[in-house]
Amino acid sequence: MDNCKVTTLSNGVKIISEFIPYLKSFSLGFWFNIGARDENLRNNGISHFIEHMLFKGTKTRSAKQISDEIESYGGYLNAFTSKEQTCYYGRGLSENFKKTFVVLSDMIQNPSFKDSHIKKEAGVVIDELKDIDDNPEELIFDKFEESIFNGHSLSYPIIGTEKNILSYNSNILHQFHKANYRLDNLLISVSGAIHHEEAVALAEKYFKGKRSTSNQKRKTFVKQIVSEVFIEKEIQQVHSIIGRTTYGFNDPRRHKLKVLSTLLGDGSSSRLFQAVREKLGMTYQINTFLNSYLDVSAFGVYYSTNDKQAGKVNEIVHREFSKLRNIEVKPKELKRVKEYIKGNTLMSLESTTNRMIRLANSLLHYGKIVPIEDILVKIDSVTSEDIQKLSKEVLNESTLSKIIICSKDNSIKKAA
């Protein structure tokens, strides 16, 4: 990782970059360590709403000027909010790096937050919320985390609630922005044909404010909750998740968990895909997922199928859990899974945006740059014994929560 460098300015701004000389482009991300888990019931959704609002104009640029300035040079701007971070990022050709940097730094420091814009954008975000509500494939993941993280701010949906969205005004947004978009809470991540010194010089020029600090500390997640939830929707399919809370980024066992999750349900060679879709043709989609946060992860199996087959699919999923708890994985299968993970990991690095995100996550989660080789070594070191031991804990039936979205007259609900 000789081409990776980290600098912290006196005002607290961190810059991490990776120089890739053979490219003609870059990806630049401005990261704030703020997300849904830092909110409360009254303002839940505000991090995501501010992410939308920063594209609506600054004190010197209109929304159209922001997009024109980047797109007229073939560039691209976007953003995303998670439960722990908000990221504003841009891509472009290397000679336009400064232009992108200047526009992004203006957006994040000088939002106008006009009440007329807020009212209009509230309609857009509520429309997005209703899209999620109409889409059981998306909704079920929000409801699953709401259930397993119950009582903790990680249970809050990123998008918030309609009531909250309608309550935001210029004053509320400015207060939240000032409190959380601090320089000591900003990480600038760059990957591509950009020298580290260039990124540092721009950060020094465009972030001149003094260091400010906050005593705000995140409440760690400690309580394991097991629940069963049924949600009625006028839909034809049954959507289901079986899962639980488990190790976060700060736990070294997460690499073993990644191998277990992949073996069980990632890709068309995985056990669940083969057992349910290939052999029986009972479902179009079945897969495992691992949504990780610093101190905890949401792990589970998601599938959708029709009413008549839902019970059988559920039975097969639990049968596969039992096999992993009781029968050691053969070396050949374990090797295939490891190669699949390593291949996917390395191929993802062909995108500068993925590399920029990886750099930022490495610093945010581990406080340092973790070389990709270290991760591959950890994946390689996972044994069959590790998988069986982990399965006995993570796939323990008494610790698993279940959430089902189905129609009102569904036979699964009647049986329950």
Q: Cα–Cα distance between 246 and 164 in angstroms, integer?
A: 30
Q: Cα–Cα distance between 7 and 300 in angstroms, integer?
A: 38
25-32 vs 86-93, strand pairing mode: antiparallel
**Cβ distance 60 to 106 under 8 Å?**
yes
> Which region, left, alpha or beta, applies to residue 354 given φ > 0 means left and ψ of -120 to 50 means alpha?
alpha
Helix (H, G, I), strand (E, B) or coil at 11: coil
Q: Is 51 a catalytic residue?
A: yes
**Cβ distance 211 to 38 under 8 Å?**
no
76-81 vs 4-8, strand pairing mode: unpaired
Closest alpha carbon to 38 in 125, 160, 213:
160
Q: Cα–Cα distance between 270 and 286 in angstroms, integer?
A: 10
Helices (H), 155-251: 162-167, 170-180, 196-206
Q: Which amino acid is at 61?
A: R
Q: Which of 18, 39, 51, 69 is catalytic?
A: 51
Q: Apex CA 190: angle with CA 62 and CA 77, to 5°?
A: 30
Helices (H), 111-227: 115-134, 136-148, 162-167, 170-180, 196-206
**DSSP designation for 210:** P
Q: Cα–Cα distance between 38 and 254 in angstroms, integer?
A: 23
Enzyme catalytic residues: 51
